[in-house]
Structure 1
Amino acid sequence: MAKLIIVGAGGHGRVVLDIVLAQSQWEDIVFVDQNPQLFGQKIKNIPVIGNIEKLPGLKEAGYTDCIIAIGDNQARAQMAEQAKKAGLKFINAIHPSALISVTVRMGVNNVIAAGSIVNTDVQIGSNVIINTGAIVEHDNIIEDNVHISPGARLAGKVQVGRGAHVGIGATVIQNIKIGAEAVIGAGAVVISDVLPRSTVVGVPARQLEKRR
């Protein structure tokens, strides 16, 4: 069995730890984190051994597999680049209770959390989080570095652009395009396309001032 590094020992990191323990594919697991206050601590008996600079040495010690467990899209993408430079192999952390169609195609370094549903012919990039209880319906395209928050619901043929964030409990109707790095507020109901780098909130969702 392989050895696994989880990058990120915060709240999302603990969720990812639960997922990989349920997968039962790794003989040993360690955390690395950028917060020095966590160094030397244990989370559910898993040690936090240092920061991202530990990755090359860990690879030499036989820790070949890696998952980035950071909720922030930009930070997750940046850490993935560091892990890639260290020559680590990304895994997908998929909870056994998640329902994923056999026709789904996905990249690597993805987290599919407990109770989520990903239906037929969905395409998922890399560095994506499909969080607890989220529903991604048929023919969605989820690009790299996206976070679909807990309880969010995406109807059929939705396209979510690179780095976008769909907030907790949000609903997106069918055939909608969400632009790159857009933010969908918690509980929003999206009934029209969302521009890149914009934020929409409310029912129905309305755009706030576009971010530069």
Structure 2
Amino acid sequence: MKTLAIIGAGDLGQQIAHFALSDQQYKKVVFFDDFSIKKSVNSIPVIGKTADIEKAFVLKQFDELLIGIGYKHLDVKKHLFERLENKIPFGKLIHSTAWVDSTAIIESGSVIYPGCVIDARVIIKKNSVLNISCSIAHDTTIGKHTFLSPRVAVAGFVTIEELCFLGINSTVIDNINIINNTQIGAGSLVVKSIVKCGLYIGNPLRFIR
């Protein structure tokens, strides 16, 4: 089995590490973190900073990479992915309790948490995170570097562009387009397309800033 490297030893990185090991998808996990002063986190070694990743890969210290940086830093997450994409193989973590239709496509760098449901002809683009129990209906596309919080429900024929964040328990009805760099607050209901990026909350949904 392979060794997984995760950028970010914070809460999200620790969750991804836990799933990778407990679900027996990787034999070992290591962290890279620019801010941690610890040598290990939860018994997982921190072997360097992001500047050390390429050298560590050449030295065969890991096989695949994922980015465990949270939704408040999606631009950083995108920058790191694009910087390393053609140099380091990115992994893909799909928890064994998730149901993924055989026609769905989940691209590299993405993490699918326990209990997610991904329906027919769904596309989850690169470097995205679907947290616990998200439900994505048929023919929907989730854009690159996007973060869906627990229990987000997205109906069919929806397109969510890159660098979006959907808060816990938010819902998107069918045939909706959401422009890039959009944030949707917890519990919100999206009933029409969003063409201006920003922060939206509520039911009915309203633009905040």
Q: Residue 81 of structure 1: CA displacement?
A: 2.6
* 2:131 counterpart letter in structure 1: N
> Aligned residue for 1:30?
30
Contact 1:66 1:83 in 2 (8 A): no
Contact 1:194 1:200 in 2 (8 A): no
Task: Write the distance in 1 (CA, Å) between the matches of 2:186 and 2:90.
Answer: 30
| Post-superposition CA distance 1:56-90 (Å, at most 9, x none) | 221122122111111232121122134336x2100
Residue pairs, 1:151-166, within 5 angstroms: 151-166=151-166
Aligned to 1:51: 49
Separation in 1 of the partners of 2:178 and 2:50?
32
The one-letter amino acid paired with 1:60 is V
For the 8 Å contact 2:13–2:69, the answer to whether it is kept is yes
Amino acid of the structure 2 residue aligned with 1:46: I
- Residues 82-131 of structure 1 show CA distances to partners (whole Å, capped at 9, x for unaligned) of 4336x210011111111111110122100100111111110111011111
Amino acid at match of 1:84: E
Query: How well do the aligned residues superpose, as a CA RMSD in angstroms?
Result: 1.5
Query: Match for residue 69 of structure 2?
Result: 70
Q: Give the drift of 1:195.
A: 2.0
4+ residue runs of structure 1 moved beyond 4 angstroms?
Answer: none
Tell me the distance in 2 between the aligned counterparts of 1:84 and 1:137: 28
Counting only pairs closer than 5 Å after superposition, residues 176-191 of structure 1 correspond to structure 2 as: 176-191=176-191
Structure 2 spans left out of the alignment, 5+ residues: none
- TM-score of the superposition, structure 2-length normalised? 0.92
Report matched runs for 1:81-92 at 5 Å.
Answer: 81-84=82-85, 87-92=87-92
2: CA distance, partners of 1:35 / 1:60: 23
Give 1:41's aligned residue: 40
Tell me by how many angstroms 1:149 deviates. 1.1
Q: Deviations over 1:167-198 (max 9, x none)?
A: 11101111111111111111101111112422
Normalising by structure 1, we get a TM-score of 0.91
Asked if the contact 2:21–2:27 (Cα under 8 Å) also holds between the matched residues in 1, the reply is no
Counterpart amino acid of 1:136?
Answer: I
Cα separation, 1, equivalents of 2:193 and 2:134: 20
1:53: Cα distance to partner? 1.4
Sequence identity of aligned pairs in percent? Answer: 28
Structure 1 stretches lacking a partner, 5+ long = none
The one-letter amino acid paired with 2:57 is K
* Distance apart, 1:42 and its partner CA: 2.7
Q: Which moved more, 1:163-172 or 1:19-28?
A: 19-28
| Matched residue SS, 1:49 | strand
- Kindly tell me the number of residue pairs found equivalent between the two proteins: 206
User: What SS does structure 2 have at the residue aligned with 1:132?
Assistant: coil
Q: Which residues in structure 2 correspond to 1:99-178 (within 5 Å)?
A: 99-178=99-178
C-alpha displacement of 1:23: 4.0
Q: Contact between 1:99 and 1:118, CA under 8 Å: does it hold in 2?
A: yes
Q: Return the letter of the residue paired with 2:120.
A: T
